[in-house]
Every structure is written in C-alpha cells, then in structure tokens.
Amino acid sequence: MSGLEKTPARGRYSESWKSLSHRLKEEADWKCSRCGCQCLRPGEYSLDRLDRSKIGKRTLNVHHEDRDRANDDELNLVVLCQPCHLAAHRPERVGKGICSGQLSFVRLVRGVWVGWQ
C-alpha cells in the first residue's frame, strides 16, 4: 500500500447505521465521550459564524472500537468528537495518507494522541 491510500476498514456500514449513529449521538447529548466536548447538532451552525476548521473540530462521530463497520453491537460503539476520533485511529494511520489538516485536530500528550480541548 502506498502512503496515499486509506487504511482499509473491515465490513460495510449497515442499512440502519444512519439512524443508529444519530440515536447514539442524541443519547450522548451531542457530547464526546472521551473529552466531553459539546459538539454541533445538524443545522446548528453556518459557515458565516464558524469556519470549516471549527465546525470539523465540533463534529460528532460514532467510532467502531474493533474497526469493523459491520459490527453495530452498541458495546463496540463510542461517540467521539472529530479530534478524538482521529486520535483513536492515529496509531494505524501513521504514514498512510492522513493529511496535515487532520493532524491539526490532534496532538501528542505523554505518548498518547488526544484531541484539542
């Protein structure tokens, strides 16, 4: 694999992924389960108030702990802000096409990649 290719994820998202991930974000009150960052709800922002970088940093994701998109067991899923989600994937992404813009969302603290607070 060249450095420009994405790390392959196993499986495909299930048909119910959109509704499941939205429900988990709602249950988390749109807060990151790692750093506690209050993220933006859909439609809660506009580009005239926030730039793309700030929107990206406050975007909530649902992460598959085992990296298998087909495994929707809720014990396998964790709600993370974009910086924490990138940090969760950081060790496997080293040298595999992560862009400098994405790297600006995370920082190394005592040997652990974490999102900016």
What contacts 24+ positions apart, CB below 8 Å, involve 22-29? 24/62, 24/74, 24/77, 24/79, 25/60, 25/62, 25/79, 28/60, 28/79
pLDDT for 29: 96
Residuewise pLDDT in 10s, the chain (117 residues): 334 334 445 678 889 999 999 999 999 999 999 999 999 998 887 666 777 778 888 899 999 998 888 999 999 999 999 999 988 887 655 555 445 455 555 555 445 445 554
> Dihedral of the CA atoms 103, 108, 61, 8 (nearest 10)?
70
Dist CA 107 CA 117 (whole Å): 10
pLDDT for 113: 47
